[in-house]
Amino acid sequence: MVLNAIIVLLAYLLGSIPSGLIVGKVFYGKDIREHGSGNLGGTNTFRTLGVKAGMAVTVADILKGTLAASLPLLLGADVHTLLVGIFAVIGHMYPVFAGFRGGKAVATSGGVLLAYVPILFLFTLIFFFISLYLTKYVSLSSILTGFVAFISSLFTQDLPLILVVAVLATFVIYRHRENIQRIRKKTEPKITWL
C-alpha cells in the first residue's frame, strides 16, 4: 500500500512537470502563460513559440503520461497502470510546480494510452490529425478524439480501460469548455500550419 501511494504521488509529480513553461522560459525567455490562451499545453506553445517548441512540449507531455503509467511495472507494484495514469493527467491539468494552472489533458492522456494499449494510441493519433486537417481546430479535434477513444475502448471489453478512457475524455471536454463556446461563436482560432 505504501509503494502504491508513493507511485500515485510520483505520477502526479511527473504530470506536474510544466513542459510548456520550461521550454518557453529556458529556450525563448517567455512565460507562455502570459501569451495566447495562457494555457501551458502544446497548443498554446505552438501558437506562442512556433512549431518546433510546440512539438517538443507535446512530445514531453505525452511521455509524462507514458512514464507515469509505466511506474507500477518499473517498480513492481500492484496498482493498476491506468489508475496511476489518471493521477499524471491530473498533475498535468493542475500542476503543483506551476500554480495549479496547467494543460488540457490531451497529450498526457495520450501518453497513458501509449503505455497501456499502444494500438489505441496510434489509432487516436491518426484520427486526431485527420480531424485537425479537416477542421483546422485543435480544440475540436481534441474533443472528437476523446469521443473516438471512448467508443473504440468499448470494443476491447477491457472494463478498466473503458472506465479510464471515459474519465480522460471527460477531462478533455471539461478543460475545453471555453473553446466550445468560442467554436459556437466562430471566434476560435484555426491553425495555419496543416
What's the CA gap between 159 and 162, in Å, rounded?
5
End-to-end CA distance of the chain: 47
pLDDT attached to residue 39: 84
pLDDT attached to residue 38: 80
DSSP line for 67-120: HHHHHHHHHT--S-HHHHHHHHHHHHHS-GGGTT----SHHHHHHHHHHH-HHH
Residues of the chain with pLDDT under 70: none
pLDDT attached to residue 1: 83
pLDDT attached to residue 193: 75
> What's the maximum distance between 2 C-alpha atoms anywhere in the chain?
50
pTM for this prediction: 0.94
pLDDT attached to residue 46: 87
pLDDT attached to residue 58: 95
Q: Which ranges in the chain belong to alpha helices (H)? A: 2-16, 19-28, 42-49, 51-75, 81-93, 106-116, 118-135, 138-154, 159-175, 177-185
